[in-house]
Structure 1
């Protein structure tokens, strides 16, 4: 069952559908507009009829004080339980809706109703998280507002989603649309001044978003621009515009078909609901079937954009681009720009760089294999992009703890099957943990399920141990382990660590994480261990003073020391920082980069303070295997007073360090007994008997 609630501007409407759309209608925010209930089956608003049915005995019309929100709905919402956070591996619904659903949804929406532009909200799931911000979707040339349909289920978990619908025969000028959207954001800002307002602008909607932001610099806006049409005057289709204007009506039916192939990639659209793990042959078969089902739907484009509407939209588009470009200097909003590499309508890739240099706070992400209709194509999950760029927040400033959204099942599968799948296969990781009685068992049974838990360990070369560690906690326990990372990782384009909850390595982050009862991953050796030099593998570089013991004791956290062994079975370090500094140009580059980098532990002495950031030169090996051992949990609850003493804290600190060193030595010795340490042996066993995570190893 799919359903929709719509509201805003001159009227509000609610739609719900089961198989073929049937509508439930509520009208609100009428102001001086006329509205009347015709019968139990229809409502007229300004002469526009919407077929529907009554919802129990509740009245369909509420002629209130003109506010956007319905009082009865607000009361119901306050009485409902509201989720504070999402569970790890939650269902984001991505892939359950396809482009065919887009055409089905627009079938009813494109019927002329004589009405003005309006907002609707698709009811794809339950209520969003407590304190969720509002997200307004501003559509492209189609104007239906359904261009976000593939992403509704995920977005509505954490946003109040509203979509702008511009009827087919509407001829509101660009300035009128700007004022319409502007009125909505001002009302929202007045009712929730501490929350950001998100504007997702697709193509034409990108121009509209920029125009609204330029006129409202004091409102906290986050713009997500998807191939914005600000570069329409440099479009490769510009010479065709006069031809379209002169084309006879009887030939126009072919135009939507041509535009559909120019604006988007049909194969990408057909791949949306196809699982990446399928064999290539089966993928091709399913894609062919999807394409066959999709192509007949293209005829409805002639209804979505008839000839007169297309000509009007092209003029509207050019005026929108001119309006937005002339006001870029006034945009103060936070901007995330998504640019397609194969956009055949406008030069989006080049435009992204131009806007980045013109706007004050702009982040760009490129999608090299996608076309203009990015949000309707495979390879783009908008909720994931927002999370990977740390753009989700519920207040004026992003909070790395309270604003974190754990990975969904879709993100988990994609990351560990596609992005790091090859490394995961090569590493064949095996995990051991220690029970309270000292027994070592395979798996994570020895690690407490309830936080706060502080996991402390040795950082392997380039953090190679991180992938399997995070995966195992999610797969076995559905626990999100949040690692403290160098701030440079979070300020750059290392989106994967952001998606999986990396926190800046500061005392404040550790304090907030432990206070929220999280599982936190800490490497006292930091970058000095992860970027160690030749001959330093499995050597700990820890500060002289305990940096975490008393913090853990303050919250009664359980400390779990762990060791990871396997970097020397995966890669060979051939160039360390001492080697790189001697290389002309490259050495100077890294020296300058480290001088400008964010500094940590400047007050610390010794080797741990020498945290030069660089990309080491490595050569791959025929992979061996990665091994993890989580030691016996150390309770600090009830020992707060003891651990306040510096000497007692230091003693525990040294004990943890010693246990990790002993665990490293244990794993290095025991891996010699593993009959499946070699990749070839593991691969054969896996093919014959069991999944990767069940391949046997040594007996602990």
Structure 2
């Protein structure tokens, strides 16, 4: 039994560790509920009130990112003071986006609105968290409205398919999606590409197994098992903005955005990704300012 434990313990731990992300999410929700109880319901929904709660949650995620993944952000100066659409590669979980959102909230005092898949809105206990952090269902109308109101908005065009079925080669799975480009054109805002180094090495999925792809296409639920949550080095790179151009089509702009994200992947990610190498990069100081 002792031999079997030492044989299977690493496997069990790698399957359980991804639940740490879920635990921190629910810890964030608990913080918001405690904060809400400090005052009456009417005052609780004032912006000034929730600003304090957001900063508490952001501090939790920022601390976790620094300790667990040695998290860094490069290219923060490419985030404008006005509205912009951030387009990013979707890892098996969006933990890198949580880190980025927290850093921008603390350093720039700005909230990034984000489009989430429909299943997120059905997760038990998540409503308050989604409301406080302005998570959107993703209709073009509400996305354009958020941008025209001067906000930052983030979209991962690959969505759940990219999260679950991409792999260590960091292939973008965008299909022919161009709705996000149409949003940027109609809102007259720049697109900012973003990519996080080693995000796929942190948490991986078993999406290569055909049965899980079939189940997803039939049920539209992310029931693919995840494993890992390894403390790999993560660096988010924010690329140069793609400026608004009234003469470009949505298809052309979508292709430019895809090329920009692929450029960040080619420049900053060693392909194929390797968990051990990503762990060792925690100690590689030569890449700090890459």
TM-score (norm 2): 0.72
Residues 300-350 of structure 1, C-alpha deviations (whole Å, 9 max, x = no match): xxxxxxxxxxxxxxxxxxxxxxxxxxxxxxxxxxxxxxxxxxxxxxxxxxx
214, 232, 253: which one pairs with 1:624?
A: 232
Q: Give the Cα separation in 2 of the matches to 1:447 and 1:498.
A: 23
Partner of 1:660: 261
Unaligned runs of 5+ in 1: 1-365, 371-378, 394-402, 434-443, 595-611, 683-694
Partner of 1:633: 241
Deviation at 1:506, TM superposition (A): 1.2
SS in 2 for 1:455: strand
Unaligned runs of 5+ in 2: 1-25
Whether 1:567 aligns to 2:175 is no
Q: Give the CA RMSD over aligned residues.
A: 4.0
Mapping of residues 246-285 of structure 1, within 5 Å: none
491, 512, 518: which one pairs with 2:145?
A: 512
Q: Is the 8 A contact 1:623 1:679 kept in 2?
A: no
SS in 1 for 2:269: helix
Whether 1:380 aligns to 2:34 is yes
Q: Give the Cα separation in 2 of the matches to 1:624 and 1:492.
A: 28
Q: Is the 8 A contact 2:101 2:112 kept in 1?
A: yes
Q: Give the Cα separation in 1 of the matches to 2:134 and 2:57.
A: 16
SS in 2 for 1:509: helix
Q: Is the 8 A contact 2:65 2:99 kept in 1?
A: no
The 3 A distance-change label for structure 1 pair 696 and 516 is farther
Q: Is the 8 A contact 1:569 1:625 kept in 2?
A: no
Mapping of residues 463-542 of structure 1, within 5 Å: 463-493=94-124, 494-495=126-127, 496-532=129-165, 535=167, 538-542=170-174
Partner of 1:551: 183
Q: Which has the larger radius of gyration?
A: 1
Q: Give the Cα separation in 2 of the matches to 1:459 and 1:476.
A: 23
SS in 2 for 1:508: helix
The 3 A distance-change label for structure 1 pair 649 and 676 is closer
398, 413, 426: which one pairs with 2:56?
A: 413
Structure ranking higher on relative contact order (CA contacts 8 Å, 6+ apart): 2
Partner of 1:357: none
The 3 A distance-change label for structure 1 pair 520 and 696 is farther
Q: Give the Cα separation in 2 of the matches to 1:465 and 1:512.
A: 25
Residues 372-430 of structure 1, C-alpha deviations (whole Å, 9 max, x = no match): xxxxxxx722269999xxxx88xxxxxxxxx978842344224542x785455212211
The 3 A distance-change label for structure 1 pair 513 and 423 is same
More helix by share: 2
SS in 2 for 1:489: helix
Q: Give the Cα separation in 1 of the matches to 2:205 and 2:85.
A: 30
More strand by share: 1
Q: Give the Cα separation in 1 of the matches to 2:100 and 2:213.
A: 32
The 3 A distance-change label for structure 1 pair 539 and 479 is same
SS in 1 for 2:110: coil
Deviation at 1:532, TM superposition (A): 2.0
Q: Give the Cα separation in 2 of the matches to 1:384 and 1:678.
A: 44
The 3 A distance-change label for structure 1 pair 498 and 420 is farther
TM-score (norm 1): 0.32
Q: Give the Cα separation in 2 of the matches to 1:665 and 1:678.
A: 20
Q: Give the Cα separation in 1 of the matches to 2:177 and 2:111.
A: 28
Q: Give the Cα separation in 1 of the matches to 2:137 and 2:89.
A: 18
Whether 1:432 aligns to 2:69 is no
Aligned length: 255
Q: Give the Cα separation in 1 of the matches to 2:180 and 2:49.
A: 24
